[in-house]
Structure 1
Amino acid sequence: MARIPHGRLATYGQIAELIGAFGCARQLGWALRRLKLPSVVPWHRVVNAQGRISMSLSREGSDWIQRDLLLAEGIPVDAEGRLPLRQFLWHPDAHAGD
């Protein structure tokens, strides 16, 4: 995840595949949810495959922190957590130096 550039997004499934954990997108999300904040891991750049922040009361406000961090990077996010995934999706092969 450290390779995801500022102002770019990745999906949980995309990261799971990159680490060889095919089909483990949900488990990746659970692991990220347990990070202590603030974190040096750019967890906020990982969103679901529908192009949304996974908004939930169980996140205890980290969903709103994620929204604010993405907005600060220039990625528009609406109040429901929707964002333009296609426009900001990170393509690791195209950014081999990242």
Structure 2
Amino acid sequence: MSDHRPVSAVPDDYAEFVLDLVSRIPVGRVSTYGVLAEIARAETGRGSARTVGRVLSLYGGGVPWWRVCAAGGRLVVHKSERQAEHLRAEGVVLSRAGRVPMGEVGWPD
């Protein structure tokens, strides 16, 4: 018996909320999984940084997923080059270590 749960092809209300939130991050601005989770939790009563990451992993192709990074401005490990390209195209200047300067471009203010 597999311990894998089936994944719905259609996002639930929480996932829809997260996707809408990500779609509202302005060009040139970046948020973190944790910040988005706090906003979602305040509105929906549920969620965590990992859950936000999972939602983006499953359903994030239609939203600007590259505007979401890990704590401390760290890029998504398995997509860091693509993410960096998107962010640079939007005018975000990464540090020498390849991190997002959250103090300058963090969203929301």
Kindly indicate whether the alpha-carbon contact (under 8 Å) linking 2:30 and 2:106 is maintained by their aligned counterparts in 1: yes
User: Partners in 1 of 2:96 and 2:50 — Cα distance?
Assistant: 23
- State the match for 2:30 in structure 1: 9
Q: Which runs of 5+ in 2 are unaligned?
A: 1-21
Give TM-score, length-normalised by structure 1: 0.72
Amino acid across the alignment from 1:14: V
Give TM-score, length-normalised by structure 2: 0.65
- State the match for 2:58 in structure 1: 34
- State the match for 1:76 in structure 2: 93
Q: Which has a greater percent of helix?
A: 2
How many residues end up aligned between the 2 structures?
A: 84
Aligned-residue sequence identity (percent) comes to 37
Kindly indicate whether the alpha-carbon contact (under 8 Å) linking 2:76 and 2:83 is maintained by their aligned counterparts in 1: no
User: Partners in 2 of 1:41 and 1:6 — Cα distance?
Assistant: 12
Question: 4+ runs of 1 displaced by more than 6 Å?
Answer: none
Q: Which moved more, 1:1-10 or 1:24-33?
A: 24-33
User: Partners in 1 of 2:52 and 2:63 — Cα distance?
Assistant: 13
- State the match for 2:39 in structure 1: 18
Q: CA RMSD in A?
A: 2.0
Higher relative contact order (CA 8 A, sep 6+): 1
Tell which structure's C-alpha radius of gyration is larger.
Answer: 2
- State the match for 1:86 in structure 2: 103
Q: SS at 1:76's partner residue? A: coil
Q: Which runs of 5+ in 1 are unaligned?
A: none
